[in-house]
Amino acid sequence: MLIPPGPPQERIMSLNLDIESLRHGKELVKRGFARMQKGGVIMDVVNAEQAAIAENAGAVSVMALERVPADIRADGGVARMSDPLMIKEIIDFTTIPVMAKCRIGHSAEARVLEALGVDMIDESEVLTPADPYYHVVKDGFTVPFVCGATSLGEAIRRIWEGAAMIRTKGEAGTGNVVAAMRHARLLQAEIAAVQSSSNLKPIATRVVEKFFDLDREVKDNLGESAGFNAFGKERKEIEAGVLEILEDVKRLGRLPVVTFTAGGIATPADAALMMQFGMDGIFVGSGIFKSDDPNTMAKAIVEATAHFDDPELVGNISKNLGNAMSGLEEAQLETRMASRGN
């Protein structure tokens, strides 16, 4: 995303996201919670012991799941919503907000998580997608959602659906920051293109096309279609909503929701790099709990996120951390999680 002028810390913590101008009270609450996470670190945890490490390190939230992404990637098979009992135990144990993951498009899993009382749902590509065409329709939920994105178009579709927070996807469980950086770079370049555009309507039309993949498949099969989409809305109405979001992007020079980065953050320097690039915060899991010393690594990544503009401090806290997770080169990946749901 484009980085607004001003001191780095002020730039991250004081961005005007126009929260107060939202028309709907429910949306105000959802985006308000997401805004409370700004400048912080959200850590994947699999039990109360790891939740304690995250909370003691200064994490702003934890993400409750049965396996960190590195183990999900290594184990293979179908990855689903975590055991509700495990999620509830973490909710009861920790004093900071608890998030949990549902599969892309799996509204029933999302409803279970909402009933459990999680503070935010991550509709995540780390789990095996349930719906090959659509994400969860979020209007009927009171709990806010965070969704991943690899590009501006993907981010805008998720925001139009009701996501209160966006995170760049990266490649979770790899310990390799290159994909997170690729997605952040593309997002930045596409925001610049929107800002220089004199006519956003063709862009809105292009962004909306992905909502009609199923309808095009029907037409290919039958020779006719009915303009079907999961939202029960006319294309013109969807395009108008997407156009409003694009206008916000053009005016703000960034997404109109809190934007974190995720996937491959494995060191304090990785966290600082992504914050310097204009992100509002960090998701990390495998990078902490697959390191030699999770307690020390967790604290160092939190501190680097908060003081990303102080290279001397980041260097000092990077000393004697032990080995970071070994990580994977992109060429080694059998599964590209980031491509799911886009």
Q: How far apart are CA 159 and CA 138, in angstroms?
A: 10
Pick the catalytic residue: 101, 138, 290, 299? Answer: 101
User: Element (H or E) spanning 338, and its range?
Assistant: none
Contact 240, 207 (CB under 8 A): no
Q: How far apart are CA 1 and CA 18, in angstroms?
A: 17
**H-assigned helices in 141-177:** 152-161
> Which residue(s) pair with 306 in the sheet?
none
Based on the residue annotation, tell me whether 101 is a catalytic residue of this protein: yes
Burial class (CB in 10 A: 0-12, 13-18, 19+), 292: exposed
Q: How far apart are CA 143 and CA 322, in angstroms?
A: 38
**Residue 242 neighbours by CB distance under 10 Å:** 24
* Angle, CA of 174, 339 and 193, to the nearest 5°: 105
Q: Which residues are catalytic?
A: 101
